[in-house]
Structure 1
Amino acid sequence: MNEDRRQFWALYLTRFAEGFGFITLVTLLPYYINALEPTDTTILGLTISAGLIVGLYTTGFTFAQTVAVIPLAWGGDRFDKRLVLLTVLGLGAGVYALFPLVDSSATFIAIRALQGAIITGTGLMTLSLVGQIAATGTRANYIGKSNAAYFAASIVGSLSAGVLYEAFGFGPIFAIIVCITIAAWLAMRHHLEPDVTRVYGFPFSDLALNRRILTLSSFRVQYAFSVTLVRTWVPIFAGVSAAQGGLAYGGLAVALTVVAEKFTNMCCQPFTGRLSDGYGRALFVFAGGATYGLVALAVPFAPAIGAALALPSEFVVSIPAIAAGATLPGWLPLSAVPGQVTILGDVSPAFVPLIVLSGLLGVADSFREPASMALFADEGTEDGGVASSFGIRDLLWRPGSVVAPLLGGWLMYEVGMSAVFYVGGAFALSGVALFLVILVWLHGRRALVEW
């Protein structure tokens, strides 16, 4: 195995550690809410409601991410990215070790904010180093593989965290995260070469006026609203009651709708990244964004599709051991009768179409994501500020990630569940339309296939 390949594998392991830590905390949030039992609190005469405190469990994380972007990206360009990444990973192991000690909402919000800064630093440095080490003609391929490692961690973490908590509690879960983080730190320390690039000044100011980045921004700002709405509301649509416009599925069925999108995205990104290296990255951004919007518009029609195709509403398998009188652990989401096990409980015919549509969302986004990341890496590397380029990319996503959940909640209660997906799809389609217009206007008719 050559030196570059060792470096890439170390970076992939780091992306896995980043994704596993992130998704595990997302999965465990309901359990922390139950354990901490937040209540109304008065501070300096100001009453903070329990609902606002629960909101801070996530908002504190997101706010810390936003604040950390510029200093960490600047530090990565100005100094050794490897050293910055090793420092962030080392601190991350310590932060995850603190989570089992949480005994109040205040400490949880504070430690979660630290996790937000760690996640931001890890993501920025790993993507910057992958983009910097890879040659221009292979950049999207390697970024796609890096993203695949992240999605693999998301799948493993989302499926295992709840089960592990029910069986063992918080402590062992975070021990696993700490061990994975330390393994990533050791791999980085041993295999990754020092970063000798140095960028003086403040590259954000120059890159903010880069014509290609401005063109991509016209798409990315709108697309952030689309992805945040659709990714957030697919499991909500699957899990909430019919009175709220949902399908009222159980926990395993809801988890499978999330995993379907991540699994197809993970499997496709290395391949689609390699294709975008050869056939034009702007074309893949356009095609992926447009397809995502069209699939999002189809999500509310999952019940109608399932009814039209007369699809099953229950999934049962025969297991002889159950018939012989064996028992199942209480934490497994299965119900048994003699001779068979009902895997998903009573789901509607909409379940299979929803899984397929969720998987198609992952396929569509797998065309867009590595191509988009490679374009930012290209511009950052060429202008001497790859970490800052990814920092700008991250900041462009923030308005959508913060505002879209509020918009989705309002649409769900005031208009209807379907409206969330219609608006989400519209954001993606308007984003690619504006991207195409600006692309042709500023860069010529051939830009779609030449970038």
Structure 2
Amino acid sequence: MRYRQFVTVRNIYAGSVEPPSVAESSTQFRALYLARFAEGFGFITLITLLPAYINQLDPSGVSVLGLTISAGLVVGLYTTGFTLAQTVAVIPLAWGGDRFDKRSVLLAVLGAGVLVYAAFPFVDSSASFIAVRALQGIAVTGAGLMTLSLVGQLASAETRGNHIGKANAASFAASIVGGMSAGGIYDAVGFGPVFAIIVVIMGLAWLVVYHFLEPDETRIEGFPFSDLAVNRRIVTLSTFRLQYAFAVTLVRTWIPIFAGVAAAQGGLGYGGGLAVALTVTSEKFTNMCCQPFTGRLSDSHGRALFVFAGGAAYGLVALIVPFSPAIGAALGLPGEVVIFGDVSPAFVPLVCLSALLGVADSFREPASMALFADEGTEDGGVASSFGIRELVWRPGSVIAPLLGGWLMYEVSMASVFYVGSAFALTGAGTFLAVLVWLHGPRALTAW
């Protein structure tokens, strides 16, 4: 079943349809890139400041109806409350974006984001922090869904990967700037100014979207999720994405843990936060730089090929991460680096491997997103298509941290990366097998 799309065509002159000018289209894309940056900046800032909130709010003193809740459960809720709110919000937000004006939905969630971030400095208990974090989850999810949906809808099929790559690059830029600056600003002047900066950025994004983004006049009747959920291409992609979510969550979460925890726990024991920050940032930096280029390549050479190659490469690089100490020792690298202080010979190899993970993932991400956008645009319901993509990721993002913690303490630190690598490689292999089975051997380059 194809959903009926009702579109009122603008820019009609003398009976002929005139498409938006290149400058007008570029302005709309830039407005969406700014919104993507604002969403990413707020998200990463809260992640960076989470330890400070744990120290300030004392999660060990929480009780409900006279029963004391363990500190570990409360700290878990600091993140789980955010994730659960995201999960619950996906379907209604995606449906609303398809049924109504995506621009209006985006403005609503950006406006909500301004209010949410303005509320964080007034948080004075674990319960209020969990509640505001849940509201943040809704705002982050809505902004991410609507920006990507609108980018995918505005772009032509021939340029979709490139534009999605640029949107993702804006989000990674926010992660780098926010991650590197939030801690220093907090140390110098406290919570208030940090959130004031976020509010200004979110407010600026709201104004730019309001003034420069044209209303979305596409309307999708019905409930597109029902048909898109059994769309053969989306099902094929989901066989990869479901497994790959475990891989990325394990590897991205445990790279900084591997770098920072004590050697007695299997880590490298970097004492300086700057060394850990560089290790994490190197992955985001290469991903940011490569995605516009790799997205453009996927537009020309087949998106499915890039999903497969990027996923397999990610698994192979993750497999090497535990060997970074041996690589550093074999190369005779120093255990102390200027600025970063006393690290270990594994420091440079780990930073390089993290950067390679970013390169590998940059091949996969814009191609995967463009494929979901292709199906949503073709079948009706681009926001719903991205909503399904988001939901397929959720099991891995929730379960993988629990699995990683168990592996780290019960098996070894290295086993976390071996298991993460296995998920990426089996995901790529399953994707290739299902792709050939359902769509033929030429589908790898034809999609």
Whether TM exceeds 0.5 here: the answer is yes
Instruction: Report the 3-state secondary structure (helix = DSSP H, G, I; strand = E; otherwise coil) of the residue aligned with 2:321.
Output: helix
Query: Which residue pairs with 1:296 in the alignment?
Result: 318
Aligned to 1:241: 262
- Residue 329 of structure 1: aligned partner: none
SS of residue paired to 2:63 = strand
Helix, strand or coil at the partner of 2:337: strand
Structure 2 residue corresponding to 1:376, chosen from 372, 376, 383? 372
Q: Where do residues 273-288 of structure 1 align in structure 2 (5 Å cutoff)? A: 273-288=295-310
Written as runs of structure 1 = structure 2, the 5 A alignment for 1:245-394 is 245-249=266-270, 250-316=272-338, 343-394=339-390
Partner residue of 2:183? Answer: 162
CA distance in 2, matches of 1:91, 1:36: 24
* 1:130 equivalent in structure 2: 151
Contact 2:224 2:381 in 1 (8 A): yes
Deviation at 1:50, TM superposition (A): 1.2
C-alpha deviations, 1:229-283, integer Å up to 9, x for none? 0000000000000000000112110011110000000000000000000000000
Residues in 2 aligned to 1:17 and 1:281: alpha-carbon distance in whole angstroms: 28
Q: Name 1:71's counterpart in structure 2.
A: 92
Query: CA offsets, 1:183-225, max 9 Å, x none?
Result: 1001100100000000011000000010000000000000000
Residue type of the alignment partner of 1:444: G
| TM-aligned CA deviation for residue 313 of structure 1 | 1.5
Aligned-partner Cα distance in 2 for 1:416–1:91: 43
1: CA distance, partners of 2:61 / 2:72:
8
Q: Distance in 2 between matches of 1:100 and 1:42?
A: 23
2:19 corresponds to: none
SS at match of 2:159: helix
Give the counterpart letter for 1:216 in structure 2. L
Match of 2:427 in 1: 431
| Matched position secondary structure for 1:137 | coil
Counterpart CA distance in 2 for 1:43 and 1:431 is 42
Q: In structure 1, what residue type is equivalent to 2:366?
A: P
What residue number does 1:207 align with?
228
- Which of these residues, 60, 73, 86, is aligned with residue 52 of structure 1? 73
Cα deviations across residues 305-361 of structure 1 (Å, max 9, x unaligned)? 000000122123xxxxxxxxxxxxxxxxxxxxxxxxxx1110100000000000000
Distance 1:6 1:133 in 2: 12
Give the whole-Å Cα distance in 2 for the aligned partners of 1:274 and 1:205: 31
Q: Give runs of aligned pairs for residues 68-217 of structure 1, distance below 5 A.
A: 68-217=89-238
Alignment pair present for 1:15 and 2:54: no
Deviation at 1:288, TM superposition (A): 0.1
Give, in angstroms, the shift of residue 410 of structure 1: 0.2
What does the per-residue CA deviation read over 1:110-144, in whole Å, with 9 as the maximum and x for residues that have no partner?
00000000000000000000000000110000000
In structure 1, what is the Cα distance between the partners aligned to 2:162 and 2:265? 42
Q: Please identify runs of 4+ aligned residues in structure 1 that moved more than 4 A.
A: none
In 1, the alpha carbon distance for the partners of 2:335 and 2:50 equals 30
- Could you tell me how far apart the structure 1 residues matched to 2:185 and 2:349 are? 30
Residue type at the aligned position of 1:268? C
Tell me which residue corresponds to 2:12.
none
Q: TM-score, normalised by structure 1?
A: 0.94
- Whole-angstrom CA distance in 1 between matches of 2:225 and 2:391: 11
Distance (Å, rounded) in 2 between the aligned partners of 1:443 and 1:384: 21
Bigger drift between 33-42 and 280-289 goes to 33-42
Shift of 1:91: 1.0
- Does the 8 Å CA contact 2:436/2:442 hold for their aligned counterparts? yes
8 Å contact from structure 2 (residues 62, 126) kept in 1 = no
Structure 1 residue 46 displacement after superposition = 3.9
User: Following the alignment from structure 1 to structure 2, what is the Cα–Cα distance between the partners of residues 6 and 98?
Assistant: 31
How many angstroms apart in 2 are the aligned matches of 1:106 and 1:43?
Answer: 10
Instruction: Give the letter aligned to residue 248 of structure 1.
Output: G
> 2:16: which partner in 1?
none
Q: CA deviation at 1:48?
A: 1.2
> CA-atom RMSD, angstroms?
0.7
Give per-residue Cα distances to partners, 1:375-418, cap 9 Å, x unaligned: 00000000110000000000000000000000000000000000
Does residue 419 (structure 1) correspond to residue 415 (structure 2)? The answer is yes
Question: Aligned partners of 2:154 and 2:281: how far apart in 1?
Answer: 30
Distance 2:36 2:46 in 1: 16
Structure 1 position 61 matched with structure 2 position 76: no
Paired residues in the alignment total 425
Q: Deviations over 1:151-170 (max 9, x none)?
A: 00000001001000000100
User: Partners in 2 of 1:225 and 1:33 — Cα distance?
Assistant: 26
Secondary structure of 1:418's partner? helix
Structure 2 counterpart SS, 1:247: coil
Which position in structure 1 is the counterpart of 2:9? none
Question: How far is the alpha carbon of 1:40 from its aligned partner?
Answer: 4.1
Unaligned residue ranges in structure 1 (runs of 5+): 317-342
1:366 & 1:428 partners in 2: Cα distance?
Answer: 14
